Amino acid sequence: MRTLRVNLAERGYPIHIGHRILQKPDLFAPYLAGQSVAIVTNETVAPLYLSTLCDTLTKLGIRPLEIILPDGEKHKNWQTLQGIFDALLAARYERNSTLIALGGGVIGDMGGFAAACYQRGMPFIQIPTTLLAQVDSSVGGKTAINHPLGKNMIGAFYQPRLVLADTHTLATLPDRELSAGFAEVIKYGLIRDRHFLDWLEEHLPDLRQRHETLLEEAIWQSCRHKAEIVAADEREAGERALLNLGHTFGHAIETGVGYGSWLHGEAVAAGTVMAAQLSCMLGFLPEYDVLRVKKLFAAADLPVRGPGEERNMRVERYLSLMRHDKKTLSGKLRLILLKSLGEAFIHAAPDEETVMEAIRICSELE
């Protein structure tokens, strides 16, 4: 097992990364506020790992409340969130109870948001079971639900007490979900670590074959970058915004085609290609680096083109949805672009005609 720490003074917490660590009660014991523990998971993850987690907690004398939600991004809404509150209230859980989110990014986001809201805040633990959640969404305290007009538009910054990434859970992850996770892994190399990017190019074939040691290294490197950025900029006032490379385009895709139709990582991959193309058109990135970005995502079996008119995604639709993005300031787009591979920056108010042309080039609108 390898351990990192998110350094946020008294609100700091460890990230444990290892194989079959879900079965280690000593990792949980210091972070449980009391004997009342609720596990929020979904219908897909529950048959796979819920009993293992319950057995681990039983060794600590805890019989947890099980809250099993429907699976999928389309359920990341107020109605499903209300179901978590209903279960907690019916069981008379109090503020010092602990909520454990067991699942992918949707469960982590909703479980964390529920914990932030319930009785104005209860302790929670993240146990991410997908690659994407292990390398990104479980770390940093971003919690949210979706709105029909935009992804993750309603939420809170609320840090977990512990993140436990058990790489054994990736054995049951469908290939498509595994590929989606690589979009966020590649992102760290693109925004701040050229050497990691080179390493990924070399090892992506083995990573896709779930080489255990290499996967653990990729997760550790990704979490290291995320922890450093969150510690420096918890509420996204500056550097943390760079983690959104490709996300403004990607969130527009997810919202526009309907939540769950494209996986988050798939939309981020296509969105990152658009950001790279725009970076090239504005004179920051050479064309051969745009090609290198495309090849990286293609090697991870991710899309490098966004949807077009057959999914009602005209260029005006992209732009309309992008204006709802959280990074928009005074009605002006702010995008994360690349000065070079390994160096990202915030570009305030780029010319919208150029943005639209980049979308056309990198989507099925061309």
Question: Catalytic residue at 332?
Answer: no
Total length of the chain: 366
Active-site pick, 76, 161, 192, 264: 264
Report the alpha-carbon distance of residue 113 to residue 301 in Å, rounded.
31
Tell me if residue 163 falls in helix, strand or coil: strand
Q: Would you put residue 177 in left (φ > 0), alpha (ψ -120 to 50) or beta?
A: alpha
Backbone angles phi, psi at 27, to 5 degrees: -75, -25
Q: Which of 161, 240, 294, 347 is catalytic?
A: 240
Helix ranges, the chain (H): 25-28, 51-58, 78-90, 105-117, 131-132, 175-192, 194-208, 212-232, 247-257, 264-281, 287-299, 315-322, 352-361
75 is a catalytic site residue: no
d(CA 230, CA 238): 10
Question: Which residues contact residue 267 at a Cβ distance below 8 angstroms, ignoring those fewer than 6 apart?
Answer: 249, 250, 251, 253, 254, 306
Catalytic residue among 187, 225, 247, 294: 247
Check 75, 76, 142, 326 and give the catalytic one: 142
168 tagged catalytic: no
Is 184 one of the annotated active-site residues of the chain? Answer: yes
Cα–Cα distances in Å, from 92 out to 17, 39, 130, 136?
33, 15, 31, 32
Q: β-pairing, 142-147 with 2-6?
A: unpaired
| Phi/psi-derived region of residue 312, left when phi > 0, alpha when psi is between -120 and 50, beta in every other case | left
Residue 80 CA: distances (Å) to CA of 38, 75, 92, 149, 165: 16, 6, 19, 18, 25
- 73, 216, 236, 254: the catalytic one is 236
Question: Who contacts 329 (Cβ-Cβ below 8 Å, separation ≥6)?
Answer: 348
List 226, 326, 334, 360, catalytic entry: 226
Is 225 marked active-site? no
Question: Which residues, 6+ apart, have CB-to-CB distance to 162 below 8 Å?
Answer: 13, 14, 16, 27, 28, 31, 125, 126
73, 177, 184, 216: which is the annotated catalytic residue? 184
Please say if 151 is a catalytic residue. Answer: no
Which residue in the list 42, 146, 152, 244 is annotated as catalytic? 244
Is residue 7 among the annotated active site residues? no
Instruction: Of 172, 358, 366, give the one whose Cα is nearest residue 275.
Output: 358
Assess whether 16 carries a catalytic annotation.
no
Candidates 92, 120, 353, 366; catalytic one:
120
Six-digit token string for 62: 């805890």
Phi and psi torsions of 163, nearest 5°: -120, 125
Is 187 noted as a catalytic residue in this protein? no
- Active-site hit among 151, 192, 225, 251: 251
The residues carrying an active-site annotation are 120, 142, 184, 226, 236, 240, 244, 247, 251, 264
